[in-house]
Structure 1
Amino acid sequence: MKTIDIFKALSNETRLSMLHWLKEPEKHFPAQGAHIPKGINFVGGVCVGDIQEKAGLSQSTVSSYLNMMQKAGLLESFRYGQWTYYRRNEPFIREFAEQIRTEL
């Protein structure tokens, strides 16, 4: 885990909002999973298009933001066909919070 990459990902208000929205996807987005095949468990995943609509930014900007957060370890993704879903990587976020608590 590169701490600086995590802080860079969190240093943008919109990316921080996205992470917040994904904490409670059922509250911030319509029902998800229409394109995820049966038997695939990706609970809490939200389609990029829905995140883009809520953020009010271009698809390319939103995809770039989501990719940055995924590379930092904050998000997980699942791609099926033309749809990509993202959700928070809760174990990683907990680990990072613990690291901040004990080391900083």
Structure 2
Amino acid sequence: MLRTPTDLTRLRILAWLREPGPAAGGVTADAVAEHFALPRPVAATHLRLLEATGMLRGSRSGGGLRYHRDDMRIAEVARMFEKGW
């Protein structure tokens, strides 16, 4: 789900959301689309998939949906994979 042979976009989004600017304010689908040169619907799909797995949290702010990392959930998923899940 996070890594496919030809597309590491979701991992790149998670990494980008560790940076001070995006981490502080969260990001919108438009910001992800612009940063990664993706069509907006593709960016929105990546964000929805990451939210569905619990790795991102969405919140309404200023009329838009902003996404933030859920570092506790990311650590939990990493531990599951380390145990051979």
Q: Tell me, yes or no, whether TM beats 0.5.
A: yes
Local SS of the residue matching 1:46: coil
Inter-partner Cα distance in structure 1 for 2:64 and 2:20: 17
4+ runs of 1 displaced by more than 2 Å?
Answer: 9-12
How many residues align? The count is 82
8 Å Cα contact 2:3-2:11 kept in structure 1: yes
Consecutive unaligned residues in structure 2, runs of 5 or more: none
Local SS of the residue matching 1:73: coil
Higher relative contact order (CA 8 A, sep 6+): 1
In the TM superposition, what is the alpha-carbon distance from 1:83 to its structure 2 partner? 1.1
Cα distance change, pair 47–64 in 1 and its aligned pair in 2 (3 A): same
1:95 corresponding residue in structure 2: 76
TM value normalised by structure 2: 0.79
Residues 44-86 of structure 1 deviation map (CA, whole Å, 9 limit, x = unaligned): 4123221111011111110011001110111111123541111
TM value normalised by structure 1: 0.67
Query: Among the aligned pairs, what percent are the same residue?
Result: 28
User: Quick one: which of 21, 46, 56 aligns to 1:75?
Assistant: 56
Consecutive unaligned residues in structure 1, runs of 5 or more: 1-7, 33-42
Over the aligned positions, Cα root-mean-square deviation in angstroms equals: 2.0
